[in-house]
A and B are shown apart, each in its own frame.
Chain A
């Protein structure tokens, strides 16, 4: 079984650029999560989809971050325009049903550096 895949693994962007990160969840999973991970803040939830419907869009991240789930097997996270403070690891995770008793399966992450 393939796990969660994320591309690219590394991204370098200039301030003001638009970048798109991609995620393929585990086949058959209904829920997909995008997280941002930094040393200071830890894991912060950016977006959450249940059966392709957006359930949470990340509050403070709304203005420049947009996640989409085009079909049940593919999601993108667009950051537009990028700022240096967006430098972080972006993790995608999927689970069968997204409850507190469900395991989240994480991809390896995309490490983003904004100059």
Chain B
């Protein structure tokens, strides 16, 4: 089973709306990362949130982390068509050398 999993396979919103992608994970972690992958490209990191942080922002993006429920969310405000992509969460297990990716949430932002 996955170390980290996004809770939705696909989401659709209209441009300008807000959307939240959720992720749950299974072990204690050092940090959780959110990546975005656009069509034809490799994933690119959006936000890294450490286990002692509760919230992190990057422009229109806001990530939260709840270590008690082992969950995280990534919110995007004022969505644009170019936000259409697959969004992954990725976690390590504490003291592990590698990061495990979830299977991703496909976000479609419609005009």
Check if B30 sits within 8 Å of A100, measured CB to CB.
yes
- Which residues on B are within 8 Å of A, measured CB to CB? 29-31, 33, 40-45, 48, 50, 88, 91-94, 96-104
- Contacts A42-B102, A100-B91 hold; do A108 and B41 have CB atoms under 8 A apart? yes
Check if B92 sits within 8 Å of A108, measured CB to CB.
no
Check if B43 sits within 8 Å of A106, measured CB to CB.
yes
**Which of the four size classes fits the interface of chain A?**
20 to 34
Question: Can you list 11 A-B contacts with CB-CB less than 8 angstroms, sorted by A residue number?
Answer: A33-B98, A43-B88, A91-B43, A93-B42, A99-B30, A100-B92, A101-B48, A104-B99, A106-B42, A107-B42, A109-B41
Measured in the bound complex, the distance between the Cα atoms of B88 and A104 in whole Å is 13
Pick from B30, B45, B98: contact of A56, CB under 8 Å: B98
Residues 84-115 of A at the B interface (beta carbon under 8 Å): 91, 93, 98-109
